[in-house]
Structure 1
Amino acid sequence: MTTTRFAPSPTGYIHVGNLRTALMNYLIARKAGGTFILRIDDTDPERSKEEYVDAIKQDMEWLGLHWDRIERQSDRLDRYAEAADKLREMGRFYEAFETPTELDLKRKKQLNMGKPPVYDRAALNLSDAEKEALRAERGNGVWRFKLDHERIEWNDGILGDISIDAASVSDPVLIRGDGQVLYTIASVVDDTEMGVTDVVRGSDHVTNTATQIQIIEALGGTCPRFAHHSLLTGPQGEALSKRLGTLALRDLREQGVQPMALLSLMARLGSSDPVELRSDMAELIDGFDVNRFGAAPTKFDVQDLFPLTAKHLQSLPLADVADAVAEAGVPAELAAPFWAMARENITTLADLKGWWELCRDGAEPLIDDEDREFIAEAVALLPEGPFDSETWGIWTKAVKEATGRKGKGLFMPLRKALTGMERGPEMAALLPLLQVIRARG
């Protein structure tokens, strides 16, 4: 059975970069009728916060990305300890004591000599007595996985055939000196024991994948299928990393972005398929193919979400937005005609309030000097209420016959006088909702 996972660290809010990973893994699982796991990677006790765990769940639920089960790495520390012991027994795990300063000096020396800046494995030459002395002086060391210096190869679902020389990569640190288990081994143990068959993540993890393949094999596991999606950039190709904090999903939600608009964009962004607004999750699932994504950096412009949001809102029946219409202050008896009028003229649901204020309170008339007599004559011809969808046509016909005006010269001054705007909804739909005009009628 196909099993995928989304494994965020609860050290902050989910942003659009995280979402890309979550969505791809979710769609793969759902398309195959498989299992989607939400795994909270919370092995860092200092940075992991319960408020972020709650926020991750809320954001996933808002988007409709429902998980089949949830796991927490903090509940599985004993499994990582067992894996570490197994690697020690195999001679693939060793303790190293260099300080960050010493490691930096080694890297600079290697670079100056034209060599790749990889860890030189000096710790493997330490005697037991030297290790004890270093522990007494510096505390416990870090634990590194000893890579086999051979080529690590796999067929990537997006990048194609990958081949990495393990000799060009430092032996990865799997456990810190303070005992904290790092992502590299925790993820391997979890993916293996949870039966994860497919892993989609960012292309910045390619080197991690290479080392994890060797760890999986050392522990006797089966490697999942890997795919590494491109990283997002800003609309001009600039790095997004410094702006991701402002692109948290909860910030987009507060700006009025609709889930289906966000999901529709992210399910196609960076692929060979055009971005198209989808009506529901089933359409997203049916049209998804991870192999259609490319390796080139992918431009993301938050402004692209708002036309999609507007288009999505236009498709919704009143029942789906009834709460938002009520919150805008619209009386229940006017909710249906109000939504029919407003839906074509909003970008987000927050715009409803402004349209209702116009209907309720009227607007400052916008009347050009040359139109003042015309507007006065037109207002005198306004039919008796109540108004309906036919009133605008009846009124403008009467005004045309009385004044001889027609076309834009007829309709534009009336719109500006009633709404204070040159553009907006169909006046036939708006006029019956204008409470001030209704009272006069």
Structure 2
Amino acid sequence: MLRFASDPTKDMHIGDLRVAIFNYIVARQRGERFVVRIEDIDRTRDVEGKDREILEILHLFGLHPSDVYYQSHNLTIHQHMAIKLLEAREAFACFCTPEALEAEREAAEADGKTYRYGGTCERLTDAEVLANENPFTVRLKKPEKAVEFDDLLQGRRSFSPDEIDSFVIMRADKSPTPDFACAVDDMIHDISLVIRDEDRIGHTPREIHIRDRLGYDKRVEYAHLPPILDETGGKISEGENAFGVKRLVERGFLPEAIANYLIRLGNETPREIFTLEEAIEWFDLKRLSETPAKFDLDELRLLNREHMRRSDPKELSRAFGFADDAVGDLVKQYLEEGSTIEELRPKIEAIFAAKPFEGEWREPMEKLRDVLKNAPLFETFDELEKHLVKETGLEGENLLQPLRLLLTGAQKGPDLSKLYPHLKSYLQEIVK
């Protein structure tokens, strides 16, 4: 089973979406279940409906989970596992106050050393623990030897006992830390492969150590994805709105184009344009580059244009408030002038909006409008043009420029002969 673990206290950004897409693809390739885990164990942070937004985004991108569960629902199991470790002497109660630990950390930094827990409470006797009425956390003892694992992208990784340290697995309020909850939940749900961002790689040896101490002997594979960089070469932050998935969709990028781009990013693909379903046939996680990939908005725009061109006309028209093949095909005529729905919407809205009759073209526009109101429906633009020449006496630029303004509300644009087949059924509404 593969999972997408999501923090419901922040907006989903493209790095999160890439992780979800890869987990979904590999789960489909392996014939395994794909589940979504909402990591809501931090009681100090407000979810504010972000969990629903996360699920809506996944649905929008066609990433349909087999199941959705909330980490907080496993709290009793987390606590039971912590008790098991305490009973086995693999973990211990730590009464060190946050202030004392911070003082130790500052002292280590002042000496130019990496802070490690000093082991103050590790050697307390049962009697000393029972006699202490102060709040306590639960710490897992550091491993006796290095924790090693094979990353599918980064190869063999090794972390020494000191790097892992004796770390907290249960907070003073008796809620689990993210590392402990994650490790236990992956056991509960029989996760076979964890695909996530590279910045989580330091947590992996802790999770492995937790499962080892609990006697879990199933091998869990890992693949840590290199970061996505912004246009300046800096690492994309989860707080950057420009790279939020919701914001990209609002700007008019199609979900299929965004998915196409993220699958191609730092990857070798057999072709440039493809769907998620097509990618499932050939995607190979091990072929991903180990180096960071730079997010290129211009490249995404080009992909978006191609996906709009290939999209079902009726479905495309829905983004503009219609459900009509003709309007979808009309939008496609403007793809040389824009690459996103956000860019093209004003052009389509202008066609169906009231037009100002002013300036040098006012009189010919009025004349054309009067003729068009009573004109029969012509199949081709040539037939329409001949009719207008005959009825108005206008020709050449004196006909085409005011006609363009009347039909599209713009002085420039695609050839009217290409627009007309998609406009003709709305002609009376446009010139009313």
TM-score interval, smaller chain: 0.7 to 0.9
**Equivalent of residue 258 in structure 2, options 255, 262, 270:** 262
* Residues 66 and 403 (structure 1), Cα distance of their counterparts in 2 relative to 1, 3 Å cut: closer
**Equivalent of residue 312 in structure 1, options 291, 307, 312:** 307
Q: Which residue does 2:168 correspond to in 1?
A: 173
Q: Which residue does 2:108 correspond to in 1?
A: 110
* Residues 78 and 263 (structure 1), Cα distance of their counterparts in 2 relative to 1, 3 Å cut: same
* Residues 11, 52 of structure 1: 8 Å contact kept: yes
Cα deviation for residue 9 of structure 1 reads 2.5
Q: Which residue does 2:74 correspond to in 1?
A: 76
In the alignment, is residue 285 of structure 1 matched against residue 273 of structure 2?
no
Cα deviation for residue 251 of structure 1 reads 2.5
Alpha-carbon separation, structure 2, partners of 1:390 and 1:416:
12
In the alignment, is residue 343 of structure 1 matched against residue 336 of structure 2?
no
Cα deviation for residue 307 of structure 1 reads 2.9
* Residues 414 and 33 (structure 1), Cα distance of their counterparts in 2 relative to 1, 3 Å cut: same
Alpha-carbon separation, structure 1, partners of 2:340 and 2:151:
39
Q: Which residue does 2:413 correspond to in 1?
A: 424
Alpha-carbon separation, structure 2, partners of 1:30 and 1:229:
19
**Equivalent of residue 267 in structure 2, options 267, 271, 281:** 271
Once the two structures are aligned, what percentage of the paired residues are identical? 26
Give the AA of the match of 2:20. A
**Equivalent of residue 49 in structure 1, options 47, 51, 74:** 47
Superposed, 1:164-243 pairs within 5 Å as 164-221=159-216, 222-241=218-237, 243=239
Question: 3-state SS of the aligned residue for 2:49?
Answer: helix
Alpha-carbon separation, structure 1, partners of 2:194 and 2:238:
26
* Residues 184, 208 of structure 1: 8 Å contact kept: yes
In the alignment, is residue 153 of structure 1 matched against residue 148 of structure 2?
yes
* Residues 97, 142 of structure 1: 8 Å contact kept: yes
Alpha-carbon separation, structure 1, partners of 2:70 and 2:17:
19
Alpha-carbon separation, structure 2, partners of 1:188 and 1:267:
27
Question: 3-state SS of the aligned residue for 1:123?
Answer: coil
Structure 1 gaps of 5+ residues are none
What root-mean-square deviation, in Å, do the aligned CA atoms of Structure 1 and Structure 2 show?
3.7
Alpha-carbon separation, structure 1, partners of 2:401 and 2:357:
13
Alpha-carbon separation, structure 1, partners of 2:86 and 2:386:
89
Cα deviation for residue 415 of structure 1 reads 8.3
Cα deviation for residue 21 of structure 1 reads 1.4
Q: Which residue does 1:15 correspond to in 2?
A: 13
Alpha-carbon separation, structure 1, partners of 2:80 and 2:271:
46
Q: Which residue does 2:86 correspond to in 1?
A: 88
* Residues 205 and 179 (structure 1), Cα distance of their counterparts in 2 relative to 1, 3 Å cut: same
* Residues 15 and 6 (structure 1), Cα distance of their counterparts in 2 relative to 1, 3 Å cut: same
**Equivalent of residue 380 in structure 2, options 353, 371, 389:** 389
Cα deviation for residue 420 of structure 1 reads 6.5
* Residues 236, 243 of structure 2: 8 Å contact kept: no
In the alignment, is residue 125 of structure 1 matched against residue 117 of structure 2?
no
* Residues 253 and 439 (structure 1), Cα distance of their counterparts in 2 relative to 1, 3 Å cut: closer
Cα deviation for residue 311 of structure 1 reads 1.8
* Residues 239 and 386 (structure 1), Cα distance of their counterparts in 2 relative to 1, 3 Å cut: same
- Larger displacement relative to structure 2 (281-290 or 313-322): 313-322
Deviations 1:382-412 (A, max 9, x none): 997644434289659x99xx9999xxx9999
Structure 2 gaps of 5+ residues are none
Superposed, 1:359-438 pairs within 5 Å as 361-362=354-355, 386-391=377-382, 421=410, 423-431=412-420, 433=423, 435=427
* Residues 107, 117 of structure 1: 8 Å contact kept: yes
* Residues 229 and 242 (structure 1), Cα distance of their counterparts in 2 relative to 1, 3 Å cut: closer
Alpha-carbon separation, structure 1, partners of 2:197 and 2:359:
53
Q: Which residue does 1:163 correspond to in 2?
A: 158
Alpha-carbon separation, structure 2, partners of 1:63 and 1:438:
35
Alpha-carbon separation, structure 1, partners of 2:278 and 2:401:
45
Alpha-carbon separation, structure 2, partners of 1:64 and 1:365:
48
* Residues 36, 67 of structure 1: 8 Å contact kept: yes
* Residues 174, 185 of structure 1: 8 Å contact kept: yes
* Residues 105 and 428 (structure 1), Cα distance of their counterparts in 2 relative to 1, 3 Å cut: same
* Residues 197 and 291 (structure 1), Cα distance of their counterparts in 2 relative to 1, 3 Å cut: same
* Residues 117, 166 of structure 2: 8 Å contact kept: yes
Deviations 1:279-320 (A, max 9, x none): x33112123211122332222245543332222121123332
Question: 3-state SS of the aligned residue for 1:122?
Answer: coil
Give the AA of the match of 1:427. L
Cα deviation for residue 22 of structure 1 reads 1.1
* Residues 38, 70 of structure 1: 8 Å contact kept: yes
Q: Which residue does 1:358 correspond to in 2?
A: 351
* Residues 48 and 389 (structure 1), Cα distance of their counterparts in 2 relative to 1, 3 Å cut: same
Aligned residues: 417
* Residues 41, 74 of structure 1: 8 Å contact kept: yes
* Residues 8, 51 of structure 2: 8 Å contact kept: yes
Cα deviation for residue 174 of structure 1 reads 0.8
Question: 3-state SS of the aligned residue for 1:345?
Answer: coil
* Residues 151 and 253 (structure 1), Cα distance of their counterparts in 2 relative to 1, 3 Å cut: same
* Residues 11 and 276 (structure 1), Cα distance of their counterparts in 2 relative to 1, 3 Å cut: same
Alpha-carbon separation, structure 2, partners of 1:342 and 1:62:
21
